[in-house]
Amino acid sequence: MTRKLGTSIIKLCKENLAGKGDNMNKEEILKMSREENEGRHDECEMMAYGTAGLFGHGFDTVIISLQEAHTDFIFSVITLGFGFMGAIITLIAILALDVCILYVGLKATHQSDKYFIAGIFGCMIFQQFWNIAMILGILPITGITLPFLSYGGSSLLSYMIAIGMCFDIHRQTSIAKYNQID
């Protein structure tokens, strides 16, 4: 914000010296700073996955500076570093986790367990779809994290607790089925 404001103040000074900006107020200055950086996230993330190619630029190579790369734009970072193949492997890993959760939900014996797992599955699918569509420019940038990949304390903690509960439901279902056999 301070960099944007500084750039706008420099523009204001240049315009005042040229005699153009006599009556500019604070709102107009802030509007100028927003206009010049509007769409920067979209452009950078699209360039990240657009220039990566099949195998990417390498993990430590910084070609494009992404703002909030470790949180909202982690999929762009993965694609930038590992290319199309890295994106496909990431999507396969996400899909494998979703299938495992769905499997646990379908095998659960109690109705409340099935509802709980359906809720977790729905939340994860929503966040995964929104985050990846946000990176591709299909949906607006909102700050929704990619579960288990984005850095975010509360998001990561809540999903770890939810997955732990899914594991417990799976264990309880397995124990119940084992005891029915005997």
Of the candidate ranges 9-18, 51-60, 63-72, the one whose mean pLDDT is the lowest: 9-18
Over residues 5-26, mean pLDDT: 49
Mean pLDDT of 72-82: 81
Name the residue among 84, 90, 85, 63 with its Cα closest to residue 150: 90
Mean pLDDT value of segment 144-156: 85
**Tokens (6 digits) for 33:** 């700073």
d(CA 58, CA 88): 16
C-alpha–C-alpha distance, residues 147 and 128, integer Å: 7
Q: What residues have CB less than 8 Å from 99, skipping those under 6 apart?
A: none
Q: Is 142 helix (H, G, I), strand (E, B) or coil?
A: coil
Tokens representing residue 111 in the block = 């109705």
Neighbours of 11 (CB within 10 A): 16
Residue in this structure with the two tokens 């949906």, named with its chain if needed: 139
R_g over Cα of the chain: 23
Question: Which of 86-95, 100-109, 133-142 is predicted least confidently?
Answer: 133-142
